Structure 1
Amino acid sequence: MTTTDLQPARTLWPPEELEQRLRHLATSRYHDRHPFNQRMHQGELSRDELRTWVANRFYYQVNIPIKDALILSKLESAAHRRSWIRRIQDHDGASDAEGGIERWLRLGEAVGLGRRELSDHRHLLPGVRLAVDGYVNFCRNKSALEAVASSLTELCAPSIMLTRLDTFPQHYPWIAAEGLSYFKSRVPQGRRDGSEALAWVKDWARTRDQQDQAMAALAFKCDVLWSLLDSVQHAARAARS
């Protein structure tokens, strides 16, 4: 008999408890708590700091449909694929004039960044590249359960988007309203996508090990978003010193 054999089996959480734990993890570690985002929402960022954030977050934005395409390739059900492909279309759009990436480019223009300097990533920080590439590779290499679970930060996205829609016009009136269209579109998309992914994870995680994998995947994604802001914050501090 091995040491492992002597260890008691871990109890499978009921789906409702798994949901509660996932929601608590997301809210307690979501990047709205990061000092940089808190300063943003309190109106304390300079124009240069906002531009640094917009330029670096754009690298994350353009990689969202790539990671979603990787997740799509893991889904064995046609119904799941038909539903998930909508996420790619949300960001890429049906044409060059539509979609989340286009709306982020408009945000860039509204804060004074040209489309070319956003698209060629000339302002991209090494730490941001490392965090985002790590997330894409996570979705490439992990199971469908883990990759989908990592997207559950969507559960918190509507709240932070509503905060920005409320605080940006107040604190940054120099940003044209058209530039905030990305935040507005993500409120209903985040609610829909978060609810969908949560239902899938609750259905697919049928062992305690799988539940733990889902929790770890969401924690990893929270770390990705936090690390992205760490790099932006460090660059902002260096620029001020």
Structure 2
Amino acid sequence: MWTFEEFESRLRACESRYHIHHRFNQRLNLGELQPFQVRAWVANRFYYQVNIPRKDAAVMSNCDDRAERRRWILRMLDHDGHGDFEGDAAGGIEAWARLGEAVGLDPADLWSHRHVQPGVRFAVDAYVNFARQQSWQEAAISSLTEMFAPKIHADRLAAWPVLYPWIDIEGLAYFRSRIPLATRDVEHGLDVARRWCTTRSRQERALAILRFKLDILWSMLDAIERGFPDDMPLAQRP
């Protein structure tokens, strides 16, 4: 076995495959995309957002440890909302819907997933099915892509108000809220990995799972990039 420190280092080294390095994301954060492409990204990513609680419910359905379910359910509530479901308690899905409005998407188009590309739908559905079919520990480890999320959120918060001044800044609240939540979730995910990966074989399995999830996120951007090229006809643009 690797020591946990070496194992964690190998997990974090997978950052090189994170979609922050995808050309479409780089163009997004350099201000090189047209408004319709920003809207397309928001609309397609929304399909991922609304499926995250379904993925988390699948994790809990496979978990026979009540203490773990109590910790994991926080992730569902982060997205679906909690308490009075108002303001910050409305949850991440509502925050993303506000981002959709801020970039100019018709709410009906956003919620109907009208603009979602087949490749995005396939990738997200594969992720939810993975969580349903594998052990809860393996599904939990797949969420360790959160290790790399604070940087991508911080980049958007810093760049978008300058590069895309036409976007209502209030619509960026989702990115701001996710930075502390991602940090909390990573601590939990690493704790699960520490306890489950008791053999070299399981450590290597965890790395393969993390790469699988990174491929999911990368393939989503591949599909969006192909589906919404710079010269897309006006009539077809979101």
Q: TM-score range by the shorter chain?
A: over 0.9
Deviations 1:117-168 (A, max 9, x none): 1111111110000000010011111122211111000001111100000000
Q: State the alpha-carbon separation in 2 of the partners of residues 237 and 49 from structure 1.
A: 8
Q: 2:11 is matched by which residue type in structure 1?
A: L
Alignment match, 2:236: none
Moved over 3 A (4+): 238-241
Deviations 1:191-212 (A, max 9, x none): 1101210121112111112111
> Shift of the alpha carbon at 1:14?
1.3
Structure 1: which 5+ residue stretches go unaligned?
1-11
Q: State the alpha-carbon separation in 2 of the partners of residues 214 and 144 from structure 1.
A: 12
Secondary structure, counterpart of 2:223 in structure 1: helix
Q: State the alpha-carbon separation in 2 of the partners of residues 205 and 35 from structure 1.
A: 34
Q: State the alpha-carbon separation in 1 of the partners of residues 80 and 48 from structure 2.
A: 13
> Shift of the alpha carbon at 1:238?
6.8
In structure 2, which of residues 11, 26, 30 is the aligned counterpart of residue 22 of structure 1? 11
Alignment match, 1:92: 80
> Shift of the alpha carbon at 1:239?
4.5
Alignment match, 1:48: 36
Q: 2:125 is matched by which residue type in structure 1?
A: D
> Shift of the alpha carbon at 1:76?
2.3
Matching of residues 162-181 of structure 1 within 5 Å? 162-181=154-173
In structure 1, which of residues 200, 203, 209 is the aligned counterpart of residue 195 of structure 2? 203
Q: 2:137 is matched by which residue type in structure 1?
A: L
Matching of residues 1-241 of structure 1 within 5 Å? 12-25=1-14, 27-94=15-82, 95-97=84-86, 98-237=90-229, 239-240=231-232
Contact 1:132 1:224 in 2 (8 A): yes
- Overall identity of the aligned pairs, in %: 52
Q: State the alpha-carbon separation in 2 of the partners of residues 140 and 52 from structure 1.
A: 28
Cα RMSD for the two superposed structures: 1.2
Q: State the alpha-carbon separation in 1 of the partners of residues 10 and 102 from structure 2.
A: 39
Q: 1:48 is matched by which residue type in structure 2?
A: F
Please report the TM-score for the alignment, with normalisation by the length of structure 1: 0.92
Q: State the alpha-carbon separation in 2 of the partners of residues 173 and 137 from structure 1.
A: 38
> Shift of the alpha carbon at 1:177?
1.1
> Shift of the alpha carbon at 1:227?
0.3
Q: State the alpha-carbon separation in 1 of the partners of residues 116 and 201 from structure 2.
A: 37
Deviations 1:21-50 (A, max 9, x none): 10111x111100000000011111110000
